[in-house]
Amino acid sequence: MLVDEFLPVFEVSDSLATVVHADLGATWGALTEVDLLEVGRQRPLVGALGALRMLPEVVSHLLHGEAMPAAPARMTLKDTTAQSTGNGGWVLLGERSHDEIALGLVGKFWRPVIEYARVTADGFRDFAEPGYAKTVYSLSVRTLDAHRTLLTGTMRTATTDEHARRWFRRYWTFGVGSGAHVLVQGVLDTTREMAERQSAPPA
């Protein structure tokens, strides 16, 4: 899997899965089209977690007299890679159509306002600048039978030195792990609902 190629050694990992009552094509199509902003609107806990994580950045902009960037109308998984990685954009590590998509991010996630590293897909695996954590989110689909698909989300994180390891462990222990779990579960559930709705026979 792509997640194994880009982060074969890791310190923290979490995986979630759901069975989708739709074929692989419909499930993959829903996954690539799911609106992450709508996930937050439909699931209050997901929305609250996202808002809480953005709060320090909002405060920082206000203190510096800066306007917040305009929010997009919608955001797919690929849309998260449109922004520069140095400004918090994800990097598309790889995509195998109707199989798996993997996104990566490098940053000091434990800081109130995250400091991100500029990194490319080619440089992600070997990135080793001290003081950072590297995260991979992988979403994949597997055929169970003609009408059922296994949809899986895997999150992995590794740190680049002992200092970053200590800080990330604290960050993860104080609820970030469960927050990431809830966020990815929201994406999987929304994708499943979309695929099943689109595959349902007309009434």
**CATH number for position 181:** 3.30.530
**pLDDT at position 46, please?**
53
180: DSSP letter = H
Query: Could you give the number of structural domains in the chain?
Result: 1
**pLDDT at position 55, please?**
36
**pLDDT at position 59, please?**
39
The CA R_g of the chain, rounded to the nearest whole Å, is 17
Average pLDDT over residues 160-188: 85
Q: Which amino acid is at 66?
A: E
Of the listed ranges 64-73, 79-88, 129-138, 192-201, the least confidently predicted one is 64-73
No. of helices (H) and no. of strands (E), the chain = 7, 6
Residue 45 pLDDT > 60 = no
**pLDDT at position 200, please?**
83
At 62, is the pLDDT very low, low, confident or very high (cuts 50, 70, 90)? very low
Supply 16's token pair.
């979630």
Q: Please answer whether residues 41 and 47 qualify as being in contact, where contact means their C-beta atoms are separated by less than 8 angstroms.
A: yes
Residue 70 pLDDT > 70 = no
**pLDDT at position 177, please?**
64
Domain that holds residue 111: 2-199
Residue 149 pLDDT > 70 = yes
Round to whole Å and give the CA distance between 21 and 15: 20
Q: Which residues contact 28 (CB under 8 A, 6 or more apart)?
A: 97, 98, 99, 141
H runs (alpha helix) in the chain: 2-6, 24-33, 36-42, 44-63, 121-124, 162-171, 177-199
User: Sign of torsion, CA 162 163 164 169?
Assistant: positive
Q: Name the residue with higher pLDDT: 57 or 164.
A: 164
**Of residues 158, 53, 173, the one with CA closest to residue 105:** 158
User: Sign of torsion, CA 88 92 93 97?
Assistant: positive
